[in-house]
Structure 1
Amino acid sequence: MENDKAPHVRLPDAAKEDRDHRLVAVHSNGEGEILSLDGIDPALAAKMRLVNDAIEQIGFTPYHYKLFCLNGFGYAADSMLAFLPSITAGNVTAEFNPSYLRAGQLSLYIGLLVGALFWGISADIVGRKWAFNITLLVTSIFTIIAGASPNYAVWGTFNALMAFGAGGNLVLDTTVFLEYLPHSKTWAITLMAAWWGIGQTAAGLIAWAFLPNFSCSADHVVCSRSNNMGWRYVYFTSGGLILLMSVLRVTIIRFHETPKFCLCRNDDHNAVNILQNIAHKYNRPLDLNIEQLQQCGRTSTTHADKSASFSELLLHYKGLFMTRREGLSTVLVWFSWMLIGLAYPLYYVFLPEYLSSRGADFGESSAYITWRDYAITNTLAVPGPIVAAYLCRTKILGRKYTMVIGGLLSLVFLFAYTTVRNAPQNLGFSCAISVAINIYYGTLYAYTPEVLPSAHRATGNGTAVALNRVMGIVAVIIATFADTSSSVPIYLCAALFGVMALIAFTFPFEPARQRSV
């Protein structure tokens, strides 16, 4: 915490007395805003403190439960799609006989990369609303079309397009949820990562249902569409589920904007109206009024004169390095996303190949057994974020040391995984790794938006996810020339998680003790 002292704001006596009382209560517990904006934009700093106090006063409502689920849908969709090209690649290549076997994974990561940057940057320029409302719809349409692909090139193209739509989910879901949460409940962002496990569990179960029963077998001389519909059913089913999610997202709540984005656009009236509507609907107290925000002055550092301009883009990136401490935090967070962007695909996305080879060693050549184990392993991604949410809500461990624990546990279990000698050990260590990795990953998902300023949060978050996707592309290239059925990728992943644990230890901010602005 760089500066806890709020700038002078003229308020009506009663409101000022109540606000001062609440600020004293917050600061007496050693809490305050993570980033100090006072020396950069005093008006925005004052408004953010007022809105943070208002959100604290309203507390956690049924509206937040709805956001938890609706934003979680984006996590689940992104996770589900990240696995589709990997788990269907063998069946697709058997049907189309392409010269390059990893176009599906490569096109997926290219689409996710472009989507993360596009939706992230645009969310800071034009708002969170449009991305929140349409990304799942775009994703579902292209997923269903990908399942009807007549050839390998079309399949790869629509993998990229469906990933472009999904690429904004990890960026916007955490951003939107955080900007409505009271500080005492921000651990729920880590818990929301359980939806990621639900998505990959769904992918595993769908694969288990269709691929063993509707795919070319070894006795098929010719693998054609008629005897190889399993991978298409996987895409159709996944696209249908995501379409259902997109409908629920726009019908359960009428999403407008986040109050903090409104402040960054000098739209004080809308910021107050949004909070007043929530307070009124759920019968919660709210002292904030428009006069309090207007007396803070106008925000002048969050947008350029022209929205669609290079200067606007540059402003949002410069805003991530306003102070030396914030700049260090941004670089370390981005580097962490790059490392796990390499480690996660090398182990997880290519896990079917490793499991298949180990299964053969154990005398388990059945496709049913392979996909059963894959589904079970993916299911164990759900408890990881639940454990992480419990750990990171404590001020002793917080977000930083929860990531340290997750990284070190991943290192230990990954090294131990190379010693397995039978099928039960194979499945047991796979499940343990799934839990450990998601303790780290789920916390990093939540930590990233918490330490970024609201005006530039989606840009910074989008860039972090985009760097993650760049390393996913590198992982695909490595897998092209390396033997992913060997233990070498496991050792590499273990070492990377050790480095990630060390970096987490050096993070300069601890959101468990300080509020986001």
Structure 2
Amino acid sequence: MEASVDHNNEKKVQADVVDLKAVPPMDIGPGDLISYGDVDPVLAAKMHLLNEAINEIGWTNYQLKLFFLNGFGYAVDSLLTFYIGIANPQAVLEFRPPYAGGGTIALYAGLLVGVLGWGLSADIIGRRWAFNLSLVSSAILTIIVGASPNYNFFAAFVALAAAGAGGNLALDTTVFLEFLPSKYQFMIVVMALWWGVGQTVAGLMAWGFMPNFSCTSADFCPKSENMGWRYLYYVGGGFVLVLSMLRIFVFRFRETPKYLLCSGQDEACVELLQDVAKKYNRPCNLTLDQLQRLGTVTTAHAATRFSLSEVAMHFRGLFATRKMAITSVVLWMLWACIGLAYPLYYIFLPTYLATRGAKFGETSPYYTWRNYTLANFCAIFGPLFAGYITTIRVIGRKFTMVIGALSTMAIFFGYTSVKSADQNIALNCIGSLTINIYFSALYAYSPEVLPSAHRATGTGFAISFARVMGIVAAVIGTHVDTSTSVPIYVAASLFAVMAILAAIAPYEPQRGQSI
């Protein structure tokens, strides 16, 4: 009798063992991380079922709300990045620091710490906490920047505010992507329009405050005559605070289903999708039994969550296969190049505009900040165009980056030969549009080609290369005459390198779905 019981138990155990051959065949597309199934077939099989459920539910108002709320994070990162190019020259006039580039370096140092810290924490403790806390901390610290009594204080709180906002680029794309049906993954590209919104808001504030509340010489620049840059941070910080409150109190964001799955929370994952489906009257046939029969995920987290081994696991996951390793390295190089080219052009754009405007008789700060705002506004349309062409079969994400990079290179080289005020503003506007075609496609491509378990870490680490090169650009800008065309030539040449890197990148996610 006892032997019979053991035999029956053995049969039951065997019945519960995962038969991955019985898993429905995956819909392999050019963008799927098919090699990841060789590393953890259980996770790959579960992700396949999860993706089917997300596709079954389809696009709902939940994703639409995420588009706006996650876009706020993009806008904040952009806002603070552009603020430093506006405010730092005036802070230098007022405080007379020994090193004029300190504020810009502080910004990028803060962004670097933020993108690494928040990105890694999102893979360890979850997207939800990092998603909410990063924006709140940035809002409060941005307001404090406006009250700076000296340059050291200014630089320190610029860095702290940037650390709060710095993880948003990694978090916002990750969170949005992990709720998206495959048919709508192109919306990751379109979401970058919020970057243009952020820089446009920065330009409008600069246009409103800087011409009327700024001193023009370090010989006489007391606080009372130089309140423009402080108003920027007061109003901008208040704006960010409102956005952070909307995230927390108006839209109750729940953890992403793919993070829950990677963390072994199958029940919570199914419950989340069932709740969304019920709320929006959509079908969802995913069951807990389907997931649990596949087994246990073992490659997403270490045995101890808060440990060096957990951190090491997330970095090792980026090199799990040869193809993923090549992808990770290409991403680093793409972000490093844009990290140097972008600030060489944009952070010093006010200087370029003022210098060239003077040649055409537009010497008033009013014209400088007007042109600056118009150029920033044009950035909004780059992601809209990029979102469209990424859906064209022969173009996709990779060749959208190629098109954006090459057209930006051409515009930058052309900008060095402007002969009139109209050409000046026209080429700046077109360049702003083309550079954001490239940027929006890169924003989308980075999280799409990384596995969910390590996505925030991988995206954050890739963006960190851009932050490091931003510091390099700030040092260059301090020691090189930024009123000349040399930085523009360097930036243009870097876009040629980016076009080549994008073309040879291993994955094309256009017709696949991220795991």
TM range (shorter): over 0.9
Letter in 1 for 2:484: S
Match of 1:54 in 2: 53
Match of 1:128 in 2: 127
Measure, in 2, the Cα distance between the counterparts of 1:467 and 1:7.
39
Aligned residue runs from structure 1 range 180-329, under 5 A = 180-217=179-216, 222-329=220-327
- Equivalent residue for 1:398, pick from 388, 396, 399: 396
TM superposition shift of 1:301: 1.1
Measure, in 2, the Cα distance between the counterparts of 1:64 and 1:310.
34
Letter in 2 for 1:7: L
- Equivalent residue for 1:490, pick from 488, 491, 495: 488
Letter in 2 for 1:306: T
Asked if the contact 1:320–1:330 (Cα under 8 Å) also holds between the matched residues in 2, the reply is yes
- What TM-score do the two structures reach when normalised by structure 2? 0.94
Match of 2:455 in 1: 457
Asked if the contact 1:410–1:437 (Cα under 8 Å) also holds between the matched residues in 2, the reply is yes
Aligned residue runs from structure 1 range 357-368, under 5 A = 357-368=355-366
Q: Which piece of structure 1 moves more, 208-217 or 185-194?
A: 208-217
Q: Which piece of structure 1 moves more, 302-311 or 45-54?
A: 302-311
Q: Does residue 1:380 correspond to 2:378, yes or no?
A: yes
Measure, in 2, the Cα distance between the counterparts of 1:395 and 1:62.
27
Match of 1:13 in 2: none
Letter in 1 for 2:507: F
Asked if the contact 1:35–1:516 (Cα under 8 Å) also holds between the matched residues in 2, the reply is no
Match of 1:86 in 2: 85
Match of 2:138 in 1: 139
Q: Does residue 1:501 correspond to 2:514, yes or no?
A: no
Asked if the contact 1:135–1:165 (Cα under 8 Å) also holds between the matched residues in 2, the reply is yes
Letter in 2 for 1:223: C
Q: Does residue 1:34 correspond to 2:1, yes or no?
A: no
Deviations 1:14-71 (A, max 9, x none): xxxxxx5xx68x55xx567333332211211110000000000000000000000000
Q: Indicate the SS of the match to 2:38.
A: coil
- What TM-score do the two structures reach when normalised by structure 1? 0.94
TM superposition shift of 1:444: 0.0
User: Which sections of structure 1, spanning at least 5 residues, go unmatched?
Assistant: 1-5, 11-19
Measure, in 2, the Cα distance between the counterparts of 1:221 and 1:128.
49
**% identity of equivalent residues:** 53
TM superposition shift of 1:97: 1.3
Match of 1:14 in 2: none
Measure, in 2, the Cα distance between the counterparts of 1:98 and 1:116.
28
Q: Indicate the SS of the match to 1:357.
A: helix
Match of 1:416 in 2: 414
Asked if the contact 2:31–2:449 (Cα under 8 Å) also holds between the matched residues in 1, the reply is no
Q: Which piece of structure 1 moves more, 350-359 or 438-447?
A: 350-359
Deviations 1:366-416 (A, max 9, x none): 010100000000001000000000011222210011111001101111111
Counterparts in 2 of 1:31 and 1:408: CA distance versus 1, 3 Å: closer
Match of 1:8 in 2: 21
Q: Does residue 1:102 correspond to 2:101, yes or no?
A: yes
Letter in 2 for 1:157: A
Measure, in 1, the Cα distance between the counterparts of 2:34 and 2:113.
29
Q: Indicate the SS of the match to 1:34.
A: coil
Letter in 2 for 1:113: L
Deviations 1:154-205 (A, max 9, x none): 0000000000000110010000000000011000000000000000000000
Match of 2:150 in 1: 151
Asked if the contact 1:31–1:515 (Cα under 8 Å) also holds between the matched residues in 2, the reply is no
Letter in 2 for 1:422: S
Q: Indicate the SS of the match to 1:8.
A: helix
Letter in 2 for 1:483: D
TM superposition shift of 1:217: 4.3
Q: CA RMSD in A?
A: 1.4
Measure, in 2, the Cα distance between the counterparts of 1:86 and 1:32.
38
Letter in 2 for 1:201: T
Letter in 2 for 1:279: A
Q: Does residue 1:440 correspond to 2:438, yes or no?
A: yes
Q: Which piece of structure 1 moves more, 91-100 or 167-176?
A: 91-100
Q: Indicate the SS of the match to 1:39.
A: helix
Q: Indicate the SS of the match to 1:38.
A: helix
Deviations 1:127-168 (A, max 9, x none): 101011111110010000000011111000000000000011
TM superposition shift of 1:454: 0.4
Asked if the contact 2:176–2:188 (Cα under 8 Å) also holds between the matched residues in 1, the reply is yes
Q: Indicate the SS of the match to 2:300.
A: coil
Letter in 2 for 1:347: Y
Q: Which piece of structure 1 moves more, 175-184 or 33-42?
A: 33-42
Measure, in 2, the Cα distance between the counterparts of 1:493 and 1:82.
18
Measure, in 1, the Cα distance between the counterparts of 2:122 and 2:439.
23
Measure, in 1, the Cα distance between the counterparts of 2:298 and 2:134.
30
Alignment: residue pair count: 497
Measure, in 2, the Cα distance between the counterparts of 1:261 and 1:395.
30
Asked if the contact 1:410–1:433 (Cα under 8 Å) also holds between the matched residues in 2, the reply is yes
Asked if the contact 2:115–2:166 (Cα under 8 Å) also holds between the matched residues in 1, the reply is yes
Q: Indicate the SS of the match to 2:221.
A: coil
Q: Does residue 1:175 correspond to 2:143, yes or no?
A: no
Match of 1:68 in 2: 67
Measure, in 2, the Cα distance between the counterparts of 1:116 and 1:31.
29
Match of 1:3 in 2: none
Measure, in 2, the Cα distance between the counterparts of 1:217 and 1:47.
62
